[in-house]
Amino acid sequence: MKEQIRALIQDGGNFDDSALDLYRWQRANNSEYDRFCGPITVRHWSEIPAVPTTLFQDLSFTSFPIEEATVVFRTSGTTSGKRGSVHFRDTEIYELAAETHAKNCLYNIPSQGISFVSTAEDSSLGHMCRHFVPDMPNFFDPEAGVKSQDAWKALSEAAQQGEPLFIPGTAFALADLLDAEHNPISLPPGSIVMVTGGFKGQRRSVPRTVLHSQLSRSLLGAQVVGEYGMSELSSQLWAIPADAPFHPPPWMRILAVDPWTGEPATRGLLRFFDLANYQTVCAIETADVGVVHPDGSVSLEGRLEGAIPRGCSLTVEEAGA
């Protein structure tokens, strides 16, 4: 199955047939998912049972013997402190999927960068950013939060080198960066500021459009883009520019469903059908609410009221609390 998914990512193929092939393979190789699905007939990818992200707090959902796992990504936590875990035997397909779609959307990822995301080994976001640009200096400390003054100095010095910069950060971390007294910096052409995660209703909230506008005024010349991902998915979505809808890769489909009936809806809870998720389960249901557009892109509208806060920005909020 791994080689089939690799070929799908590299060369394309029929999503519908591949999704059903993967679903059947996962039911045969993932006992917890098989029990979750129960007696059901699936004739179309949209009918594949989607596992709620909360179940990863209690179940492993691996399509291989879990003792063979070499990498564990963990969700950033909830207000209850319980974290979900996602196990991988290897990260080859994860990295291939991440890099392939990022390059398709961004065209070029700068080889130099400055990071405002977690450096933890169990952070999928940190893993992706390190894969894109290894050895980036990082100015987010899980204990102290964003080291803003040092970061602005480093950004200014890096800009003077003339090489494009990749600057990934969670929305909350970048908002903290902007709070520090600073002068606007002109970044080299080709620089990219990647904004991911939300504010989760914790200490503060800045509207997306306001944050993106502030970043454009402070980091002059950079393209500000949005990234959406989670530990339970092996693929990411990109919004270019950052205020645009998020676009999935060709090996992913998104379905909005009514949160009470589970029936397809124009606006609703988002289910992701990610074929790069061959090592776990290909269908994931989130507590995120959005609108799926006819071209397959999605506009995010936040989380279902009453849902537990989660995601990559939570660690930043907790650090600054």
Residue 12 lies inside a defined structural domain of this protein? yes
137 and 224 part of one domain = yes
Phi, psi dihedrals of residue 26, rounded to the nearest 5°: -70, -35
59 has pLDDT over 80: yes
CA gap 188, 159 in Å, rounded: 6
Q: For residue 280, what are the domain limits?
A: 2-74+245-303
Q: 190 is written with which tokens?
A: 């080709």
Residue 255: how many other CB atoms lie within 10 Å: 21
298 and 158 part of one domain = no
Q: 254 is written with which tokens?
A: 């998104």
Residue 89 lies inside a defined structural domain of this protein? no
254 and 240 part of one domain = no
* 145 against 171, higher pLDDT: 171
299 and 313 part of one domain = no
104 and 229 part of one domain = yes
SS3 for 149?
helix
| Overall domain count for the chain | 2
Residue 133 lies inside a defined structural domain of this protein? yes
49 has pLDDT over 80: yes
CA gap 274, 23 in Å, rounded: 11
Q: 199 is written with which tokens?
A: 């504010």
Beta bridge mates, 116 = 169
18 and 124 part of one domain = no
* Mean pLDDT estimate for the chain: 90
* 165 against 204, higher pLDDT: 165
Phi, psi dihedrals of residue 189, rounded to the nearest 5°: -55, 140
19 and 105 part of one domain = no
At how many degrees (to 10) do helices 15-29 and 2-11 cross?
A: 160
283 and 143 part of one domain = no
> What pLDDT, in 10s, does the model give residues 27-46?
999 999 999 999 999 999 99
CA gap 52, 20 in Å, rounded: 19
**Structure confidence at residue 141 (pLDDT):** 81
> What pLDDT, in 10s, does the model give residues 282-317?
999 998 999 999 999 999 998 776 554 444 433 333
Residue 216: how many other CB atoms lie within 10 Å: 17
Q: Biggest alpha carbon distance in the chain?
A: 62
127 and 199 part of one domain = yes
Mean pLDDT of 136-153: 89
Residue 290 lies inside a defined structural domain of this protein? yes
pLDDT band at 11 (very low <50, low <70, confident <90, very high): very high
**Structure confidence at residue 306 (pLDDT):** 55
Residue 87 lies inside a defined structural domain of this protein? no
Residue 7: how many other CB atoms lie within 10 Å: 12
> What pLDDT, in 10s, does the model give residues 65-96?
999 999 999 986 554 567 889 999 999 999 99
DSSP E strands in the chain: the ranges are: 51-52, 71-74, 85-88, 112-113, 140-141, 145-146, 165-170, 185-186, 192-196, 219-220, 223-228, 237-239, 252-257, 267-274, 283-292, 298-303
Q: Provide the CATH number for the domain around residue 224.
A: 3.40.50
Residue 282: how many other CB atoms lie within 10 Å: 29
**Structure confidence at residue 67 (pLDDT):** 95
Mean pLDDT of 47-76: 93
Q: Are strands 283-292 and 267-274 parallel, antiparallel or unpaired?
A: antiparallel
What b/e sequence results for 178-190 when a residue is b if at least 16 CB atoms lie within 10 Å of its CB, and e otherwise? Answer: beeebeebebbeb
> What pLDDT, in 10s, does the model give residues 90-136?
999 999 999 999 999 999 999 999 999 998 999 999 999 999 999 99
32 and 165 part of one domain = no
> What pLDDT, in 10s, does the model give residues 186-215?
999 999 999 998 655 445 678 889 999 999
pTM: 0.91
Contact 46, 21 (CB under 8 A): no
> In the chain, pLDDT over 70 holds for what percent of residues?
91
SS3 for 167?
strand
The amino acid occupying position 297 is S
60 and 101 part of one domain = no
**Structure confidence at residue 237 (pLDDT):** 98
Compute the radius of gyration of the chain from its Cα atoms: 19
Contact 120, 73 (CB under 8 A): no
Residue 293 lies inside a defined structural domain of this protein? yes
Residue 32 lies inside a defined structural domain of this protein? yes
207 and 275 part of one domain = no
Residue 262 lies inside a defined structural domain of this protein? yes
21 has pLDDT over 90: yes
